[in-house]
Amino acid sequence: MIAVTPNRFQNALHMSLTPTRHATVATVVITDGAGGLGDTLSAVGRQVYETAGAVLVGGKPEGELASELPWFAATDDAIAAIGTSVEFIWFLREGAVPAPDALVSLVNDAIRTDSGIVGSKIVGSDRGLVSVGLVTDVFGVPYTGLDRSEKDQGQHDVVRDIAAVAGVSMLVRRDLLAGVGGIDASMAPVAASIDLSQRARLKGARTIVSPASEVTYDRRDERANRWREEASRIRAYVKVYGWLTLAWVLPFDFFIGLVEWVVSLFLGRWYGFDWARSWVWNLRHAPSTISQRRHARTQRTASDEELFRFQRRGSVKISRVWAASLAALRRRLPGDESLTVESIGADIRQPAFVVGAVAVLLVMLSARNIWADGFPAVGYTLPVPSNGWHVLDAYAGGWNPAGLGSTLALRPLLAVAAIVRILTLHTGHVAEYVLAAGAMLSGIWGMTRLLRTWSVGAAPALVAGIVYVAGPTAQGIAGNTHIGTVLALGVLPWALRFCLAPVRDQALPAFARMAGAVLVFGLMGALSPVTLLVPLPALVVYAALRFADTDAWRAVLAATVGTAGGALLLSPWIWDHSFEAIVKDGYAFWATSPVMPVAGAVVAVVGVVAAERRVAIIAGWAALLAAFGYLAARGGSYGLGSEAESVGLAVAGLGVGICVGVVAATVSNHEAPRWRRSIAGFGVAGIALLLISASTIVLGGRLGLPGDVFSDTLTFTRANEGEAARSRVLLVGPADQMPGDSRLVEGGAYRVVSAPVPDLGEARLAPRGDLDEALLASLHTAVDGETRRIGGLLAPFGIRWIVVLGDSDGADADPTSLAWRQVFAGQLDLLPLSAGVSNAVFVTAIDPVSRALTSTAQTWPRTGWSYAGDREATSRVFVAENPDPGFGPGPWLETASANEVSAAQGVVTFSADGPKRLQALVVLLAVVSLLGFVMVSRRMR
């Protein structure tokens, strides 16, 4: 039986397929000014399922056709104006062109499946699929599941439940719409439709896609509205999820957005403002969101699990970022094919792919223990401070905590590490891993890019990169524990590449190149200041060898600008320090088996002899670099110190790496004359040796850095709760076993560190201050045997423990360790610790001992890089740091070569040095400006 309701006319062809009950449908066209309204309205008029009428909602339309229809600014007003007999509302976006049977299909499927919301299949005018319903991830990010170029061939034509509809064409039951509170007018279109679907699902309604309902709608550039979609997306899930779900979804979403922002920077996109603006918008709209959330979750019939059923696993954003990164990487590798499904099979058969995979695996294995444990505490490699903000505050004119403290600027490496720490949300050891693994990957990648300058292929370049970041020289640097130089290995080839890469003869690219060079040089100098001195002379020699090459001299110019600009970016540190002093500190002598230098020499000679003439000159230049680096690494007799040794090794590694690339390229070049390839074959033996040596870097899982020493050595300081935060440790013993710098008293090395383990901020000691001099005097008293109560003399410095490094026991005892042990063994107010300690450890019998002690003998623990305790209105607190008027709250007094300040506020403050802070802020501004300029110029390109 066919029921025909008055005022409803149906196409007879469809009558047999339609349900017995006919619905009344009103059409709401969402106008956004994007154009195509006339087409949309025409298509609505051609529908075989006649609608009860159409209204326009949104932007005020123009044109004759539009003026004939009622217009409303808000959806709610429009729906209210529609007659009460209407059962369904059909929402169409301006520009959508539904097929004539689109509506009837929607209505049929809605009634047949008893669904609350039904969406159409959206195709482009080129028949490309735009949407066949959406799933989302748990964060509400929509996912179509379609390839970008996927054509509609009916492959998705099945009616099914979906998380949401695209919002281009959807049919909504009117009573449902009223029950869920209507469409959120504050939201962007896609997010609003997802929001509506989710709220409907909470009430028990189904959301389906009806592929038979086809709507033509071309994709539009939504980037202008991106932040609004982001903000709406957050608001959407906040409305529907339970508090338990929100407790983890919100922070994860925040973090993922941050990651997307940071990674996208490297992909030439800038999402920072969108990310920040979306969260700020949600903060501002939190009251209305909470109000709507209450409405959405009241009388719900489904839980969060019902929503999860229609969501995909993982994060859509992370997947997109990952895919984009891979695509970007692929573009930078040699080969013209883009990363498509078709090309993958060919790719994995390429040597470059295999070597690249090995390189990535090598990095992952080589840095695996840093993920779990962070940087080992040994020598100049110490854990990154736990709070990045404190470090940045200290770097920008604040208090340097090394030893007994100073106002000397911290190394810029600390600022870089702090920024990474902050960007990784202070999560575990992620910052250290990002730094370490990132540097290694960057080094390999940088070497491939550098060698590409001379048309060396990807596979030989990757081999060269592996030798460069993991070979004997890299392991030598790691063995020296100069973590800054280890990290700078990742930037050095980029610095050269930025200078050497061809640039177009236009002003903007040229300036962008200079800006990029300044940034790269600045980063390199920040990680290892001495490396800043490497590129310019290296490129001068390069240009001299290629005298007629204007690009080479342009590279010298870029290096000059980069060196100067990069040095300025090291402010305020650079004004406090002298490169000469850094270069001469210690004694450079790289002790290694002769096998490795010989292997390097063989590769260099073969590279010069066997390579094609143009590349052979490059190999000769690289051999010269390697030789100079090797000499610097062993040039202690010329006054070079240990940091110069590390930089020398970096230069040697760079030179050998380039030679390896040249030799490998020659061997693998089947078009090269046989004699060249034959000679190059000799170099393969050297490369094999270097690669074998490089492979050993995976054994420790710490990039070749030695194992942790001080975390274990000083574990005992954690035994009594709170003591570590209140006390210092005096380390004595051989200088080469100290964490970072040390000082001497009558030939014996010593230094003071924080418990439970010194961090990277404590590696470099400033010149002695007054309190340092007082400590030196006390130690003189002890080593001269003039006191038997050194514990009492050390207590004012906050020193509770004394640790004798090295073997101080038995026949094989180190003479220095033994001498120190004798000093402290003969003291009356020290007690030995024997349980659970690997070294000779003495603890003072004095009580209380504290770095900050009030006049009422209350001990204030170290909180971050300051001190805090209970407020004592009339008391004073004595701070065992070198005296400085910056300490507060006032009045400040210098007492016994230390600081005395008021205890009234319950915290010790330090006023940053104004000029230094200003310099740091200017540097920050400069970095942001240069970065912005480079990115903008890249996008313009």
Partner 1 sequence: MRRLLLLVAAAAIGVVGFVQVAPPGAEPPGFGGTDDTLPDGAVASPSVWYCPWVEAGDIVDSDIVFATEPDVDVSLTLLDPLANAEPSTASTSVVGPGAASVSTGDVLRVGESPAVVEISDGPAATVSVEYSDAFIAADQCVVSAPKTWYLTGGSTKPGTLTQVRLFNPFADNAEVSITGYSEFSIDLVPDLQSIDVPGRSWTTIDFEPYLPLRDELSLTVTATKGIVIPTLIRIDDRGEAMWPGTAPAETWEFPIATAGGLEPFVSVMSAGGDGIIVTLDIVTEAGTISNAREVVLDASEPALIPVSDLAAAPYGIRVRATSPIAAAVVATVPIPDDDGLGGSGEDTTTTTEGAPETFIRGLAGTVGSARPSSEWIVPVDTLPGSQTTLWIMNTGIETAQVDFSALSEGEYPVGDDVIVESGSIIGIPVDVGIGIYGYRLSADRPITVAWSIDGDRGVALVAGIPI
| Binding stretches for partner 1 (CB under 8 A) | 545, 587, 589, 591, 594, 597, 601, 604-605, 608-609, 613, 616-617, 620-621, 623-624, 626-628, 630-637, 734-736, 745-748, 783-789, 809-810, 815-816, 818-828, 830-832, 834, 840, 842
Q: How far apart are CA 640 and CA 656, in angstroms?
A: 22
* Residue closer to partner 1 (CB basis): 89 or 830: 830
* Residue closer to partner 1 (CB basis): 296 or 775: 775
Q: For residues 887 and 910, is the Cβ–Cβ distance under 8 A?
A: yes
Phi-psi region of 180 (alpha: psi -120 to 50; beta: other; left: phi over 0): alpha
* Residue closer to partner 1 (CB basis): 302 or 845: 845
Quote the least distance from Cβ 507 to partner 1, whole Å: 35
Q: What does 14-25 look like in DSSP terms, one character per residue?
A: HHTTS-SSPPPE
Quote the least distance from Cβ 842 to partner 1, whole Å: 5
Q: At what angle do helices 642-668 and 613-633 cross, to 10 degrees?
A: 160
Quote the least distance from Cβ 791 to partner 1, whole Å: 9
Quote the least distance from Cβ 489 to partner 1, whole Å: 20
* Residue closer to partner 1 (CB basis): 486 or 601: 601
Tell me, letter by letter, the H, E, C secondary structure of 543-557: HHHCCCCHHHHHHHH
Q: What does 419-444 look like in DSSP terms, one character per residue?
A: HHHHHTTT-TTHHHHHHHHHHHHHHH
Residue with the two structure tokens 């209305």: 288
* Residue closer to partner 1 (CB basis): 830 or 877: 830
* Residue closer to partner 1 (CB basis): 646 or 816: 816
SS3 assignment, position 2? coil
* Residue closer to partner 1 (CB basis): 73 or 828: 828
Quote the least distance from Cβ 830 to partner 1, whole Å: 4
* Residue closer to partner 1 (CB basis): 63 or 848: 848
Residue with the two structure tokens 């059909």: 90
Going by the DSSP 8-state scheme, the letter that residue 481 receives in this structure is T
* Residue closer to partner 1 (CB basis): 687 or 840: 840
Q: How far apart are CA 197 and CA 310, in angstroms?
A: 11
Q: What share of the chain is helix, strand, coil (3-state, %, to 5)?
A: 50, 15, 35
Going by the DSSP 8-state scheme, the letter that residue 4 receives in this structure is -
Quote the least distance from Cβ 371 to partner 1, whole Å: 36
Q: How far apart are CA 318 and CA 127, in angstroms?
A: 29
Quote the least distance from Cβ 636 to partner 1, whole Å: 6
Q: What angle do CA 661, 666, 667 make, to 5 degrees?
A: 100
Phi and psi for 690 in degrees, rounded to 5? -65, -40
Quote the least distance from Cβ 383 to partner 1, whole Å: 27
Q: How far apart are CA 528 and CA 536, in angstroms?
A: 15
Q: For residues 278 and 230, is the Cβ–Cβ distance under 8 A?
A: yes
Give the pair of three-digit tokens for residue 434.
């990002």
Neighbouring C-beta atoms of residue 114, cutoff 10 Å: 10
Which ranges constitute the DSSP H helices of 634-716?
Answer: 642-668, 674-695, 710-713
Q: How far apart are CA 135 and CA 316, in angstroms?
A: 10
Q: How far apart are CA 262 and CA 420, in angstroms?
A: 11
Instruction: Residue 855: name the closest of 799, 903, 795, 908 by CA.
Output: 903
* Residue closer to partner 1 (CB basis): 605 or 705: 605
* Residue closer to partner 1 (CB basis): 242 or 815: 815
* Residue closer to partner 1 (CB basis): 527 or 840: 840
* Residue closer to partner 1 (CB basis): 83 or 810: 810
Quote the least distance from Cβ 139 to partner 1, whole Å: 57
Quote the least distance from Cβ 533 to partner 1, whole Å: 17
* Residue closer to partner 1 (CB basis): 406 or 592: 592
Quote the least distance from Cβ 794 to partner 1, whole Å: 13
* Residue closer to partner 1 (CB basis): 781 or 895: 781
Quote the least distance from Cβ 650 to partner 1, whole Å: 15
Quote the least distance from Cβ 553 to partner 1, whole Å: 17
Q: How far apart are CA 187 and CA 451, in angstroms?
A: 50
Phi-psi region of 374 (alpha: psi -120 to 50; beta: other; left: phi over 0): left
Quote the least distance from Cβ 560 to partner 1, whole Å: 24
Instruction: Residue 934: name the closest of 507, 498, 516, 504 by CA.
Output: 516
Q: For residues 90 and 106, is the Cβ–Cβ distance under 8 A?
A: yes
SS3 assignment, position 303? coil
Detail the DSSP E strand segments found in 207-358.
Answer: 207-216
Neighbouring C-beta atoms of residue 298, cutoff 10 Å: 9
Q: How far apart are CA 667 and CA 460, in angstroms?
A: 9
Quote the least distance from Cβ 537 to partner 1, whole Å: 14
C-alpha dihedral (692, 694, 698, 702), degrees to nearest 10: 160
Residue 852: enclosing H or E segment and its boundaries?
A: strand 852-854
Quote the least distance from Cβ 748 to partner 1, whole Å: 3
Quote the least distance from Cβ 935 to partner 1, whole Å: 39
- HSE at residue 220, side-chain half, CA atoms within 13 A, is 18
Quote the least distance from Cβ 789 to partner 1, whole Å: 7
Phi and psi for 123 in degrees, rounded to 5? -125, 155
> How far from 526 is each of 32, 542, 568, CA to CA, in Å?
49, 25, 10
> Which residues, including other chains, have CB under 8 Å from residue 189's CB and lie 6 or more apart?
30, 32, 93, 167
* Residue closer to partner 1 (CB basis): 67 or 822: 822
* Residue closer to partner 1 (CB basis): 101 or 741: 741
* Residue closer to partner 1 (CB basis): 246 or 813: 813
